[in-house]
């Protein structure tokens, strides 16, 4: 198992397969027309994978620019020396604007009020603002409601404070409702006609997240995509096109067995005694818990792989430790690796499976891996 060689000293770690990022980006780029810009979404510490390392690898793999949630995340990218464009996906608070301008970030405008605050910050700093206007076409979250968007377009176009670089929308249901997504796309396309064609020709026009790629149309005016989940190797749905690209999971999650012992039938295991052993049982205590990113929802439901075999979680997942049944796995010893996500031997625990036990979505499973879990980066070709 490659996992052991890289992390011999760790109790719990995730292994990040950097060459898998190259392959995923390559597959996604190949599926897109060459003029389409690839905005790599690296918010939330690159979906738990570790932002500096992953962002650097993404750039090497050929992405065009980055998107993050906020100014603090963008500042981190600038600190490690990336001067690529960085788009802020969330609304920016007035007090954050001076820093956003100083760092040369692409600010998303979600309202006339926000645009006015940006114009004020520009007047104070003397630095022009690079902006994308975000339109709410049925997500009900960020962005100017589409019926009020034309007014914001006109404001941005008229004021010299702005360098207008892009316009975009965000899909709410691209992973499960093609008709609703098509409706959002139509509202957005109709709205684009309100922008003079000479101005429109210079804009980045984007709508698609990973799931949106399923219905991406090269003939539309779209000339950029915002890719998160897919580049980390997870198709947002089992849809034919995206699944056919066969993205490879980049992250796997492992921890050490720290104690092995035999318990008699009838023993209550872990907090609140939710599991009573029905047979004499050999248990392994694994050094990972909800303090690392294994949700308590997986209690009595999930499995870890030990020595290539599925071992059921017994009782409650606790903050630092999880107990698994190794009665049927011969010769488990302290120091063995338990795999929570990923392959071990001939078996694999997928993120989809983990999410079913943990009652969460793939994005969440990755983001809730905590800082206590060491990140180990594999750079070798596999
Ligand atoms: C997070 C985010 C994305 C990336 O979505 P994935 O489903 O992970 O590809 C794209 N656009 C916006 C506005 C986002 O907030």
The tens digit of pLDDT for each residue in 154-169 reads 999 999 999 999 999 9
Residues 290 and 201 both lie in one domain: no
What pLDDT does residue 40 have? 98
161: in domain: yes
Residues 56 and 198 both lie in one domain: yes
Please state the φ and ψ torsions of residue 284, each to the nearest 5 degrees.
-120, 130
Residues 271 and 219 both lie in one domain: no
Residues 98 and 224 both lie in one domain: yes
Do 168 and 212 form a contact (C-beta atoms < 8 A)?
no
Mean pLDDT of 271-293: 98
Residue 169 beta carbon below 6 angstroms from any ligand 1 atom:
no
What's the CATH number where 261 sits? 2.40.37.10
177: in domain: yes
Return all residues near 184 (Cβ < 8 A) that are at least 6 apart: 137, 138, 139, 169, 171, 172, 207
Residues 58 and 204 both lie in one domain: yes
Ligand 1 centroid, distance to 200 Cα (angstroms) = 23
304: in domain: yes
Please give the Cα distance from 100 to 13 (Å, whole number): 34
Has residue 72 got a pLDDT over 60?
yes
What pLDDT does residue 237 have? 72
240: in domain: no
Mean pLDDT of 71-89: 95
Q: Give the count of domains, the chain.
A: 2
Mean pLDDT of 264-277: 98
Residues 215 and 359 both lie in one domain: no
What pLDDT does residue 355 have? 96
258, containing H or E segment: strand 251-263
What pLDDT does residue 239 have? 62
Confidence of residue 81 (pLDDT cuts 50, 70, 90): confident
Residues 214 and 316 both lie in one domain: no
Domain end position, chosen among 181, 202, 232? 232
Q: How far is CA 234 from CA 231, 253, 346, 347, 350, in A?
A: 7, 15, 20, 18, 10
Q: Whose CA is nearest to atom 6 of ligand 1?
A: 228
Residues 259 and 363 both lie in one domain: yes
Mean pLDDT of 243-272: 95
The mean-pLDDT minimum among 16-30, 85-99, 151-165, 212-226 falls in 212-226
17: in domain: no
The average confidence (pLDDT) of the chain is: 94
Domain end position, chosen among 204, 232, 260? 232
What's the CATH number where 85 sits? 3.20.20.10
Take residue 227 and report the two structure tokens written for it: 């890719």
Do 11 and 287 form a contact (C-beta atoms < 8 A)?
yes
Take residue 85 and report the two structure tokens written for it: 């464009």
Q: Provide the 3-class DSSP secondary structure of residue 225.
A: strand
243: in domain: no
Question: Which atom of ligand 1 is least distant from the CA of 47?
Answer: 8
Give, in degrees to the nearest 5, the angle at Cα 11 between 7 and 12.
80
Residue 134 beta carbon below 6 angstroms from any ligand 1 atom:
no
Residue 286 beta carbon below 6 angstroms from any ligand 1 atom:
no
127: in domain: yes
Question: Which atom of ligand 1 is least distant from the CA of 134?
Answer: 13
194 C-beta neighbours (distance < 10 Å), count: 12
Residues 177 and 265 both lie in one domain: no
Residue 55 beta carbon below 6 angstroms from any ligand 1 atom:
no
Q: Per residue in 82-105, pLDDT tens?
A: 899 999 999 999 999 999 999 999
Has residue 276 got a pLDDT over 80?
yes
Q: Whose CA is nearest to atom 4 of ligand 1?
A: 228
Residue 227 beta carbon below 6 angstroms from any ligand 1 atom:
yes
* Enclosing domain of residue 361: 251-378
239 C-beta neighbours (distance < 10 Å), count: 17
Domain end position, chosen among 166, 198, 232? 232
Confidence of residue 5 (pLDDT cuts 50, 70, 90): very low
Residues 51 and 150 both lie in one domain: yes
Has residue 1 got a pLDDT over 50?
no
Take residue 379 and report the two structure tokens written for it: 């750079």
Confidence of residue 3 (pLDDT cuts 50, 70, 90): very low
245: in domain: no
Residues 74 and 163 both lie in one domain: yes
pTM for the model stands at 0.95
Do 88 and 100 form a contact (C-beta atoms < 8 A)?
yes
Has residue 2 got a pLDDT over 70?
no
Question: Which atom of ligand 1 is least distant from the CA of 174?
Answer: 7
Active centre residues (catalytic):
43, 271
Ligand 1 centroid, distance to 298 Cα (angstroms) = 26
Residues 112 and 37 both lie in one domain: yes
Q: What is the Cβ-side half-sphere exposure of residue 116, based on CA atoms within 13 angstroms?
A: 4
Has residue 341 got a pLDDT over 80?
yes
Confidence of residue 4 (pLDDT cuts 50, 70, 90): very low
Mean pLDDT of 228-233: 96
Give, in degrees to the nearest 5, the angle at Cα 247 between 246 and 248.
115
């Amino acid at each position: 198992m490659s996992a052991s060689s890289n992390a011999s000293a760790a109790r719990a770690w995730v292994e990040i397969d950097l060459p898998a990022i190259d392959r995923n980006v390559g597959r996604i780029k190949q599926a897109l027309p060459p003029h389409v810009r690839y905005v790599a979404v690296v918010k939330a510490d690159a979906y738990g994978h570790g932002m500096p390392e992953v962002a650097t690898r993404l750039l090497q793999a050929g992405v065009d620019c980055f998107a993050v949630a906020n100014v603090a995340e963008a500042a981190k990218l600038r600190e490690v020396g990336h001067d690529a464009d960085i788009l802020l996906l969330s609304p920016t608070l007035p007090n954050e604007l001076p820093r956003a301008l100083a760092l040369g970030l692409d600010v998303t405008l979600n309202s006339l009020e926000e645009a006015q605050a940006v114009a004020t910050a520009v007047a104070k700093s003397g630095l022009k603002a690079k902006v994308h206007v975000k339109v709410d076409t049925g997500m009900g979250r960020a962005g100017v409601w589409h019926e009020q968007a034309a007014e914001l377009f006109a404001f941005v176009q008229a004021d010299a404070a702005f360098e207008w670089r892009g316009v975009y929308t965000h899909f709410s249901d691209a992973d499960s409702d093609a008709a609703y997504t098509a409706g959002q796309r139509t509202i957005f396309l109709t709205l684009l006609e309100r922008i003079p064609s000479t101005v429109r020709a210079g804009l980045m026009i984007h709508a698609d997240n990973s799931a949106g790629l399923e219905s991406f149309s090269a003939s539309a005016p779209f000339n950029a995509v915002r890719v998160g989940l897919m580049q980390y190797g997870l198709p947002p749905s089992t849809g034919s096109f995206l699944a056919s690209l066969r993205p490879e999971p980049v992250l796997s999650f492992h921890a050490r067995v720290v104690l092995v012992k035999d318990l008699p039938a009838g023993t209550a295991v872990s907090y609140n005694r939710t599991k009573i052993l029905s047979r004499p049982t050999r248990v392994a205590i694994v050094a990972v818990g909800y303090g690392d990113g294994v949700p308590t929802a997986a209690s009595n439901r999930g499995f870890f792989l030990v020595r290539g075999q599925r071992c059921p979680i017994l009782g409650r997942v606790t903050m630092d430790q999880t107990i698994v049944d190794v009665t049927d796995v011969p010769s488990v010893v302290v120091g063995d690796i338990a795999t929570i996500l990923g392959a071990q031997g001939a078996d694999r625990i997928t993120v989809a499976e983990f999410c079913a036990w943990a009652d969460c979505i793939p994005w969440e499973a990755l983001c809730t891996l905590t800082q206590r879990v060491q990140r180990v980066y594999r750079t070798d070709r596999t």
